[in-house]
Amino acid sequence: MFSSWKELEQAIINCKKCLLHKTRKNAVPGEGSKNAKLMFIGEAPGAVEDETGRPFVGAAGKLLTETIEKFGLKRAEVYITNVIKCRPPSNRDPREEEIESCSPYLESQILLIKPSVIVALGRFAATWLLTRMGYHCQGIMKCRGKVYRGTLLGIEVNVIPTIHPAAALYNPRLRPLFESDLKLAIEKIISKEEKTITKISKSKTRSLLDFISSSSRKDQN
């Protein structure tokens, strides 16, 4: 497990734990706010991500970014990464041994960020997360759009699985489902932030009232 971002990102960039290092151009650690309340986890980098070293910057990434912004957050305010950090040749599915050797990186990212909501983009991310929380994902269409609350690696999280943005891009009937799942996740974050602000401003009002009443008591003495 990694306790610093610098160490973790260097380890990912130089990783040779599985055969994908032989065919990748760049490993793709992830990007975004390291204080994010909301984290997105995809499957694996594609061609554009492999070229640039950045997650979700191709066509599927454009849909993801536009949808995040449509519901009121900026891409830079969330953290985006993948289950595996190197592109599988011809975008084939990640293999069990690749997922296993890459998992300590994702575990460290989750523990460093401690997000309150994680959106699983597609079945690989949904299975990775839900299995570790003690749930079973019987296919992405069955588990998408629901909030799975529980303990992941010792932290309390809400996991919301959804369709992979590439599927939503190529099948227009899936697009509204993808959008409503992201809306659900983003509204959860925004309402949590509003509650925190209300709590802080209530406690500020109370201390101001305490100050006024204690000064008026002093005046009377």
Q: Which of 2, 27, 49, 73 binds ligand URA (CB under 6 A)?
A: 49
Nearer to ligand URA, 46 or 115 (CB): 46
User: 71 vs 89, 186, 187, CA distance in Å?
Assistant: 34, 7, 8
What is the Cα–Cα distance from 203 to 113, expressed in whole angstroms?
27
Least distance between ligand URA and beta carbon 119 (Å): 12
Nearer to ligand URA, 2 or 56 (CB): 56
Q: Is 46 in the site for ligand URA (CB under 6 A)?
A: yes
Q: 34, 79, 82, 46: which is closest to 185 by C-alpha? A: 79
Tell me whether residue 26 is exposed, middle or buried, using C-beta atoms within 10 angstroms of its C-beta: 0 to 12, 13 to 18, 19 or more. Answer: middle
Q: What minimum distance in Å lies between the beta carbon of 74 and ligand URA?
A: 18
Question: Which two tokens mark 205?
Answer: 């009002």
- Report yes or no: 155 and 113 within 8 Å, Cβ to Cβ: no
Q: Does 60 bind ligand URA (CB under 6 A)?
A: yes
Among 29, 32, 45, 115, binds ligand URA (CB under 6 A): 45
The binder of ligand URA chosen from 31, 43, 50, 98 (CB under 6 A): 43
Contacts with ligand URA by CB under 6 A lie at 42-46, 49, 55-56, 58, 60-61, 82, 166
